[in-house]
Amino acid sequence: MDVIVCVKHVPETAEAEIKIDSSGKSIEKAGLVFDINEWDDYALEEAVRIKEKFGGTVTAITVGSEEAESTLRKCLARGADQAIRVDGKAFEGSDGYATAKILHRAIKDMHFDIILTGMQAGDDGYAVVGPVLAEMLGIPHATMIKKIELGEGVAKVNRELEGGLEEKVEVKLPALFTVQTGINEPRYVSIMGIRKAMKKEIKVLGLADIGLTENDVGEAGSWIKIEKLFIPPVEKQAEFIKGSPEEVAAKIAEIIKAKGLV
């Protein structure tokens, strides 16, 4: 069972102070910590578990600069057999559609039974790369996967729906699945795994290697272009009312009257 996992090297911004850079179209990355995209982390773990159970190989692939190789090294340390990085300055500004085009060209001649991606990326949240890639490859896909059961030429998967519901669908292989967090518990990277990963080669492909031009990628090849990024202004703040129950009740009554609610 050969599995390809598409991963992304993203900044961790949950607890960081975000600033918009001088272009107004991106954030200042200096000082930010980069790591594997959270959803892709679960996709990688699921791929390794499939290999451990059914045999085969796991190939991790990313689109990014040389800095993204640290994420690929993590994939190799966690159990991936091969790693591919598609590199190019021209890729900057690529939306989900253009990114899918890049991945399609890198993957289309490879053998695979399953392609796994994260449900979305933590930096842009497009959540379209997986489905668009599947359409370009001409294979079925299912999104927001919480469970995968593999059979002879098919996969039964549980999809997360709204309101805590799930649906179970059967999909013919080869297929692509976008993985939701919680499908498994990603393992820790062992020291031995890190040492082995440092010795493995990461294959690097350029724009010419995948048969695309600069007009096919970046902003020129994208459906969506970012015009401006901004941090939403804080318009309202919570007011904490202190005092005795009687004082608090009186203050609340004043606020309700002032707002014209009574």
pLDDT at 17: 84
Task: Examine the pLDDT at 237 and tell me if it is beyond 90.
Answer: no
Separation in Å, CA 227 to CA 11, 27, 123, 159, 224: 21, 13, 16, 34, 9
Q: Is the Cβ–Cβ distance between 60 and 43 less than 8 Å?
A: no
Instruction: State the average pLDDT over residues 93-103.
Output: 95
pLDDT of 15 > 90? The answer is no
Q: Is the pLDDT score of 236 beyond 80? A: no
Q: Which domains does the chain have, with CATH numbers?
A: 3-216 (3.40.50.620)
Phi, psi of 171 (to 5 degrees): -125, 130
195's CB contacts (< 8 A; 6+ apart) are: none
Q: Kindly tell me if the per-residue pLDDT of 40 is higher than 80.
A: yes
- Whole-number Å distance between alpha carbons of 157 and 98: 28
pLDDT given for residue 231 in this prediction? 85
The helix or strand, by DSSP H or E, that contains position 228, with its residue range, turns out to be: none
Average pLDDT of the chain to the nearest whole number: 93
pLDDT value at residue 146: 97
Six-digit token string for 3: 């599995």
Q: Per-residue pLDDT for 69 more than 90?
A: yes
Q: How much is the pTM?
A: 0.86
**Beta carbons of 72 and 85 less than 8 angstroms apart:** yes
CA distance 89 to 64: 9
Token pair for residue 103? 């991945």
The tally of CA atoms less than 13 A away on the side-chain side of residue 104 is: 20
In single-letter form, the type of residue at position 37 comes to N
Region of residue 216 (phi > 0: left; psi between -120 and 50: alpha; otherwise: beta):
alpha
Does residue 46 register a pLDDT over 80?
Answer: yes
Q: How confident is the model at residue 26 (pLDDT cuts 50, 70, 90)?
A: confident
Give residue 235's pLDDT.
Answer: 75
Residue 30 pLDDT > 90: no
Q: Which of 59-63, 156-160, 182-186, 231-235 has the lowest mean pLDDT?
A: 231-235
CB atoms within 10 A of CB 8: 23
Residue 144 pLDDT grade (very low, low, confident, very high; cuts 50, 70, 90): very high
Using DSSP, state whether 160 is helix, strand or coil.
strand
148 has pLDDT over 80: yes
Question: What is the pLDDT, as a whole number, of residue 168?
Answer: 97
Per-residue pLDDT, averaged over 161-171, amounts to 94
pLDDT per residue as tens digits for the range 101-139: 999 999 999 999 999 999 999 988 889 999 999 999 999
Expressed in angstroms, the distance from the first to the final Cα of the chain is 67
Higher pLDDT, 213 or 14: 213
User: What is the C-alpha to C-alpha distance for residues 8 and 121, in angstroms, rounded to an integer?
Assistant: 7
Q: Which of 26-40, 43-57, 168-182, 228-242 has the lowest mean pLDDT?
A: 228-242
Within a 10 A sphere around the Cβ of 246, how many other Cβ atoms? 8
How many residues are listed for the chain in this entry? 262
pLDDT for 88 equals: 83
Phi-psi region of 5 (alpha: psi -120 to 50; beta: other; left: phi over 0): beta
